Amino acid sequence: MDESVLDKLKILAESAKYDVSCSSSGTVRSNKPGMLGNTVGGWGICHSFAEDGRCISLLKIMLTNYCIYDCAYCINRRSNDIRRAAFTPDELTELTIDEILHKYRSAQDKFLTESFGTIAAYGPNAAMMHYHATEEDHAKLEKKGFLLVDSGATYMDGTTDITRTYPLGELTEDERLFYTWTLQCHIDIAKAVWLDYCDCHMLDTIAREPLWRHLINYRCGTGHSVSFVGNVHEGPHALNGRNTTLMRPGMIVTDEPGVYEAGEVGIRIENEIECYHKADNQYGTFLAFRPLTFVPIATSPIVPGVLDKEQIAWLNDYHRKVFEQLAPRLTEDERAWLAEKCAAIGC
């Protein structure tokens, strides 16, 4: 890694350790149970508060520790003689993405540890399914192609595992097609309904079928079980070609199909989903999945005319639920951003 970039990461990581609330400046703060609060007036780099009163700082995004305010107890206050650093967009790499995610998650009150090492993979690196950037070998982000981010954490109240593939700029036609087909796979298993005698390896084929139509397959499972505050890969069930476990209500599994073209591109979209009882009738017991992960899925790479009406309806309904779940916890500016990312599509 470039020495200047590594030095900045070390400076900002150290600053984040001692970051305290800008309420030390005497400014008023507002806070509602179950939500983030704001420092009234926007004083200092600490601008929000968790329900338990701890601050959530702009510093946590690991971009800068410069501040124009002089809060009494903050190590990053203007008058303090400390080393300063700031990242520019051109300096973002796979490693800085990893650090950014860690600082955000570790700021939450129930955070215990990351559930696995973050995979932040740009361009061809994402074609390696378990790629991890290192100081010696990592990619710089550019304004083109995809960035795949697979990350998660263990909290006192659960364990997460999520992947999103983000367009950073201009995409090739193949990249857009691969993304759209992967999304079809993700949606088809997410909206699946099946009789309770179907086992995991039968369900796995539902996810793969959109890619199979184009003679493409991914060389891994569609999903794995996730424990409660434990192993992020835990049996007995998994969506793959070998697992014969029967899914039952309450079982949690990931939904993470993908396309991995060596030397070209890697794409994955992952949610955690829960099996639930849908209905009983004269034909038997029907089961289905519902999402536990509520994060927008990028829609700009979707090739128009490929998703069918049911897939579009599922995606629009999912984004409606994402907005309903998250909007009450956000500021006005953040809600506007989320509304744009969750906007319904018609293609």
Range in 98-102, 169-173, 266-270 the model is least confident about: 98-102
Give me the chain's average pLDDT, please: 84
Q: Token digits for 233?
A: 């890969």
Range in 13-27, 33-47, 135-149, 252-266 the model is least confident about: 33-47
At 49 the pLDDT is 53
CA 6 – CA 23 distance, rounded (Å): 31
Q: Phi and psi dihedrals of 173, rounded to 5?
A: -65, -40
Place of tokens 């999520």: 162
CA 85 – CA 197 distance, rounded (Å): 58
At 171 the pLDDT is 96
CA 162 – CA 179 distance, rounded (Å): 16
CA distances, 276 to each of 57, 202, 284, 319 (Å)? 38, 17, 15, 20
Give burial (CB, 10 Å; 0-12/13-18/19+) of 121.
buried
At 242 the pLDDT is 95
- In sequence order, the 6+-apart residues with CB closer than 8 A to the CB of 50 are 36, 56, 107, 108, 109
pLDDT tens-digit series, residues 75-119:
777 788 888 877 776 677 887 788 778 877 887 778 898 898 889
Average pLDDT value for residue range 49-60 = 50
11 — pLDDT class (breaks 50, 70, 90): confident
CA 280 – CA 157 distance, rounded (Å): 32
CA 13 – CA 4 distance, rounded (Å): 14
